[in-house]
Structure 1
């Protein structure tokens, strides 16, 4: 079984550009790494990778015609995902406001947070329409081997490797002394960005369903 290296390199280049572009997962990982430390950043990345595997698995089943997913179901799940991300962002912003308000009794206390791994997973899977992206994206590179099933395994593995590597690079950058000193503002900006994306996603889904 031959491996089509040129096609594989094209796939890797494509996913590097796709994953490196800041999105909800990147902003969540950056925010957690800046505010809660490297370990929490990596746990967030692990959760996000687990979500990617779930989406890729569903997309693979759709490619082979094993399952069908209705537009209504995807839209409903997207609404739930946007609501979850909104709540997560608002809680983070509230926690940062409390920690920065030195005049408020008990301001140092931060609200109970969902474990970083679960945060990463739920934000990663909050847009179930990514399944449709994988359904459209993977077949373009299915020819990396002569066996489509092996090809899908290779493509999925490369996605996870590249995804985790890029997220790790963001985490490392957050721990640079110059950036680390701005950890509170990074956390606020990350949460604000998540909230904007969630509201925009919710508005788009509701408008599309009208």
Structure 2
């Protein structure tokens, strides 16, 4: 169909890739632990939206151009690393609030704005990760026939399958992580150390991304 080959193997490979912990999983777990299920689920949705961008870029050839350019790779790498470090430092420096104060703050700020920010943060952490670019350009072409006359449709179809499977797994991870830590959300002391731990993990991810090589 559309020149797609070994589709069953593709599904199995995507499943195994999803259940193997990586930067996206670490980010979603971190958000779920620090801010609850909703934050984790919105982060998962944002990351999936980022995968949609990579799928479109792969289908229309942009990903291959980025992967071939050392300058583009370096720029994306450092921008993504700085963004993760920025998010981590913000969590580390956040002052804990009492349950009542936090509730009033959320009521004043409005949930939609908070959810939008969480979505965008998840989106950008995925889009600005050059390793994801290289993954798409090296993984997807293995399942598209070189002689296919519908390569664009084939790449888009594989992208949809990848995004749907990843979103399902990431949502499950966010739900579990948020459920486990839900009972600690009302304790400012515990939340302070959770924020610092998660923030440090984000900084670590940023440093790891900055030192990544092609």
TM bucket (normalised to shorter chain) is 0.7 to 0.9
SS at match of 1:68: helix
After alignment, is 38-47 or 157-166 more displaced?
Answer: 38-47
Cα distance in 2, alignment partners of residues 151 and 52 from structure 1 = 16
Give the aligned partner of residue 176 of structure 2.
173
User: In 2, are the aligned partners of 1:56 and 1:131 still within 8 Å (CA)?
Assistant: no
CA separation of 1:109/1:28 partners in 2, compared to 1, >3 Å: closer, same or farther? farther
**What CA distance in whole angstroms lies between the structure 2 residues aligned with 1:153 and 1:107?**
42
- Kept in 1, the 8 Å contact 2:32–2:40? The answer is yes
- Name the structure 2 match of 1:199: 207
Correspondence 1:112-131 to 2 at 5 A: 115-131=117-133
**Residue matched to 1:28:** 27
Please tell me the root mean square deviation across aligned C-alpha atoms, in Å.
Answer: 3.3
Once residues 68 and 3 of structure 1 are traced to their aligned partners in structure 2, the CA distance between those partners, rounded to angstroms, is 22
TM-score by length of 1: 0.76
Q: When you count helix as a share of all residues, which structure comes out higher? A: 2
1:153 aligns with 2:156: yes
What per-residue deviation string (whole Å, max 9, x for no partner) do you get for residues 35-68 of structure 1?
32322222211211111111222222228x9x72
- Aligned equivalents of 1:61, 1:192: Cα separation in 2: 37
Map Cα deviations across residues 87-118 of structure 1 (whole Å, 9 max, x no partner): 101111222xx218x9xxx99999x9781011
Name 2:70's counterpart in structure 1.
Answer: 71
- Gaps of at least 5 residues in structure 2 are 186-190
Q: Provide closer, same or farther for how the CA distance between residues 165 and 41 of structure 1 changes in structure 2, counting only shifts above 3 A.
A: same
Question: Structure 1 residues 80 and 30 mapped into 2: Cα distance closer, same or farther (>3 Å)?
Answer: same
* Structure 1 residue 182 displacement after superposition: 4.9
* Distance in 2 of aligned mates of 1:60 and 1:150: 7
Contact 1:89–1:194 (Cα < 8 Å) also in 2? yes
Cα separation, 1, equivalents of 2:45 and 2:87: 18
Residue 191 of structure 1: how far off its partner (Å)? 2.9
Cα distance in 1, alignment partners of residues 60 and 2 from structure 2: 24
Structure of higher RCO (CA pairs closer than 8 Å, 6+ residues apart): 2
Post-superposition offset of 1:3: 8.5
SS at structure 2 position matched to 1:155: helix
Distance 1:201 1:138, change over 3 A: same
Structure 1 residues without counterparts, runs of 5 or longer: none
Q: 1:99 to 1:152 in 2, by over 3 A?
A: same
CA distance in structure 2 between the aligned counterparts of 1:94 and 1:26, rounded to whole angstroms: 23
Moved more, 49-58 or 80-89: 49-58
